[in-house]
Amino acid sequence: MEWSAPSGTDTLGRLGVLVPSSNTSVEAELREVVPRAVSVHVGRLPLTRIAESSIARILSELESESRKLATAGVDLILLGATAPSFLKGVGYDREVSARIEAATGKPATTTSTAMLEALAALGARRVSLGAAYDDEVNAIAAAFLEANGHPVACARGLGYVDNLAVGRLPVETAFDLGREVDHPDAECIVLACTNWLSMAAIAPLEAALGKPVISTTQASIWACLRRLGYTAPISGYGRLLEAYLGEGEVAPARAGARV
């Protein structure tokens, strides 16, 4: 009896993702949305509290954990954590990517970089921001967006510092806060925090508000798939993945190449 592999199992690439150690949501959302042609491999960085001091410490092990992840033969490494990649303002996301690349020889990107690239692809300048964070971290997120050319019409957070608690929030909280922060001047709604379930809320929010919605998890998936050369539309998770995966030119990510 002859055997053949199931359809859809051709390998396009391996994605390595570094997440906060207490993150319990992003892996499930990645594996729900990322096509089977891309395998996902996860490493962890120590973080339990979403506070400025804790966020600053998370990258103390960035190089060592990146090197471990690289041994899985990944083609691209994502820092899949929003706050640690925007903490120190303009250009900090690119500095983090450069550290990963220098340590591993692998192309790298961050969630905050993906967020900015997604806004550029959508042609959205002024945004509203909803996040799971407390006021202090939410203010840092808003400042990062504004310093990168995206005025924030409205910004509100859910007030959480305990990252495990964020991971237990139902996806309805993302939908509700997205509606709450909507502003007539905002061209796009941004939902920030990769440990906050958001993917299932994006398409319903877009339908309700009549404007694009991105979450930092969704933007990360979009940016990484493009770098790995995947351009087929993915339905059910917002217009970014449905209409913009094949838009523009992005060099495929391959080991030893810079993204």
For 158-191, write each residue's pLDDT tens digit.
999 999 999 999 999 999 999 999 999 999 999 9
Domains of the chain: 13-114+218-243 (3.40.50.12500), 115-216 (3.40.50.1860)
Helices vs. strands in the chain: H and E counts, helices first: 12, 8
pLDDT tens, position by position, 213-242: 999 999 999 999 999 999 999 999 999 999
Nearest 5 degrees, angle CA 216-CA 50-CA 218? 10
Displacement of CA 225 from its chain's centroid (Å): 12
Side chain identity at residue 3, one-letter code: W
pLDDT, tens digit, 9 for 90 and up, residues 91-148: 999 999 999 999 999 999 999 999 999 999 999 999 999 999 999 999 999 999 999 9
Distance in angstroms (rounded) separating the CA atoms of residues 197 and 23: 11
Position 24 pLDDT exceeds 50: yes
pLDDT at 6: 52
